[in-house]
Every structure is written in C-alpha cells, then in structure tokens.
Amino acid sequence: MKKIAVLNNKGGVGKSTVAVQISHGLSMLGFKVILVDLDGQNDSSLFLGISEKDYNKTFFDLIDKRNDVKLEDCIINARESLDLLPNSHIEEINAEFYRESRIDLILNEKLQGLENLGYDFVVVDCGPQRTRINDSVLCYVDNIVMPVQVEAAAVRACGSIYEYLSDLRLSPDKISLIIPNMYDQRTRDAKENLEFLREFFKDEDNIVTNPINRRVKITEAGKMGKTVFEYDEESAQQFFEVLERLVKKVG
Ligand SMILES: Nc1ncnc2c1ncn2[C@@H]1O[C@H](COP(=O)(O)OP(=O)(O)OP(=O)(O)O)[C@@H](O)[C@H]1O
Ligand SMILES: [Mg+2]
C-alpha cells in the first residue's frame, strides 16, 4: 500500500483538486484507492460530490477516545474502486494531535486497518499551513505530491517544504512530484515562473511534471462534484500524464 500526501503550506494552490484527480485517476487505472480528507473545509469530499449529509462517522470519530468506532464505518464509497474517509471538527483533531506525544506513529495506528482492506493507494488531502495534523501526515506517508501555483510568490516559496521536512527530521526524498498548477500558457510571466520551478528542482530526478493549465472547467467540475475525468477532456489528458509519472515514481 502506497501512502501519498498532497501538501503545500500555501492555501488555494490546488491541493484538494490534485488529490481528487489523482485519486480518481488511479482508481480508473485499476488501483483500489482511498482518499483521506484532512482538509478542514472538506473540499476534496465536496469535489467528489459528497457532502456532510452523506456521512455520519468521520475521521474525527476514529480519534475521539469517547467513541469506539470501526475504521470501516467511517469509509464511504465515492466511485468504482475509490473510497473516501471524510473529516469533521478539524480543530479538535488538531488539538488532540497536540496532546499525542508520538505524532510520528499516530496515523499508522489510527489507519492501520487500511492495509487489510486491500487498498493499493492512500491519498491524503492536507489543509494549508503547518499544523499538527500535517506533521502527522508527513510522518505517515512515503510520498509527497506538491502542487505549486505557477505564480511568482508561490514558486519562490516552494523551498519551504524542505525546511518543514527537516524540522520533522524527515527525508527530502519523500518529495515525489511537484505539479505546476494553474498554468497560463499565454503569459510570459507564467513561462518564466515555470522555468524558475524547473531550475529550482533541477537536481531532483525528474520531479517536476508537465503543468496543469488554468481552466474554468476545473473549477466548474469541483463545484458540481465531478472530477475532470467526468467533465473536461483536456484537463483529464493533462492529469493522465501526471498519473503516468506518479505510477512510475511511486507504484
Ligand atoms: N488548474 C486549475 N484551473 C482552474 N481552477 C483551478 C485549478 N486548480 C484548482 N483550481 C480552483 O482553485 C480553487 C482552489 O483549489 P483547491 O481547493 O484545490 O486548492 P487547495 O490548495 O486545496 O486550497 P486550500 O489551501 O484552501 O485547501 C478551487 O476553486 C479550484 O476549483
Ligand atoms: Mg484544500
């Protein structure tokens, strides 16, 4: 079972979008996938068309010591071969994780059952910024996929992932893919920023993927609870290219 975090400290760069597309894409390639939504706004659940009314037990119930909830009871099916573990009360989860002394082990313990349920991939959608939850996710996963918005401030800040990993005493080798997102082909500015990103990671083996273009259809798909594979052929093609790289690198 491969464990992947979709993470970037910056908000609004496309983490939830990428988490949803790679999860659905992997399931379409025949893998059994679970998306763990640890983004407090439940965006990845919503992008899959699943809202609060569709679930009653969540990741929060799993870690709530007053409850004795089985992992299976918190999982809902989203698509063929794609399941979802939603969250609620994210601040309380974060507070609870602050009280845990072994943050490096907590998710292994709480999500232990996933292996037996036969998943090939666990994809974790992370919220922005450094949080205790994100610390725990970085310890849990073997692979990090980082979407970076192709925009000056965002590409310049992308090195902060190394600091974050170093502070947690984790290896930078966990970074598997950098996905330039919201790329606007028409502007010179975007081309320069993409070039900067490639240059920045040039010593890493083939880590920066082709960019995902900025397309209104991606936003629309999310709002309708559809993935790009169900709504936008052009973006679907771009995500398939990213998936090919991901499977080669991680699979
Ligand atoms: N390539 C793209 N083209 C157009 N819109 C996009 C693209 N990628 C993401 N978006 C849109 O940008 C917004 C932010 O994306 P998303 O929610 O995936 O970011 P995030 O990094 O998860 O944000 P947060 O930090 O709040 O969790 C959403 O409305 C999404 O539909
Ligand atoms: Mg998000």
Residue 149 has a pLDDT of 97
For 169, the token pair is 């005493």
Query: Nearest ligand to the C-alpha of residue 184?
Result: 1
Contact 245, 209 (CB under 8 A): yes
- DSSP string for residues in 33-100: EEEEEE-TT-HHHHHTT--GGG-S--HHHHH-TT----HHHH-EEEETTEEEE----HHHHHHHHHH-
Supply the range of the domain harboring residue 209.
2-250
Query: Which residue lies with its CA nearest to atom 13 of ligand 1?
Result: 12
Residue 132's closest CA among 108, 102, 160?
102
Question: Does the Cβ of 180 fall within 6 Å of ligand 1?
Answer: no
How many structural domains compose the chain? 1
> Which residue in this structure is represented by tokens 């979709």?
6
List, in order, residues 6 or more apart from 54 with CB less than 8 Å away: 76
Q: What is the structure's pLDDT at 206? A: 83
Residue whose CA is closest, atom 5 of ligand 1? 219
Ligand 1 center–CA 15 separation, angstroms: 7
pLDDT at 67: 81
Between helices 216-224 and 15-28, what is the axis angle to 10°?
Answer: 80
What is the 180 CA–ligand 1 centroid distance (Å)?
12
What whole-number distance in Å separates Cα of residue 59 and Cα of residue 86?
6
- Contact status, residue 35 vs residue 44, Cβ threshold 8 Å: yes
Q: How high is the pLDDT of residue 65?
A: 82
Contact 122, 1 (CB under 8 A): yes
8 A C-beta contact, residue 79 and residue 33? no
**Spans of the chain, pLDDT less than 50:** none
Q: What pLDDT, on the 0 to 100 scale, is given for residue 68?
A: 87
Phi, psi of 142 (to 5 degrees): -100, -20
Ligand nearest to the CA of 180: 1
Q: Which atom of ligand 1 is nearest to the CA of 223?
A: 31
Distance (Å, rounded) from C-alpha 44 to C-alpha 47? 5
106 exposed, middle or buried (CB, 10 Å; 0-12, 13-18, 19+)? buried
> CATH code at 114?
3.40.50.300
In 10 A of CB 231, how many CB atoms? 16
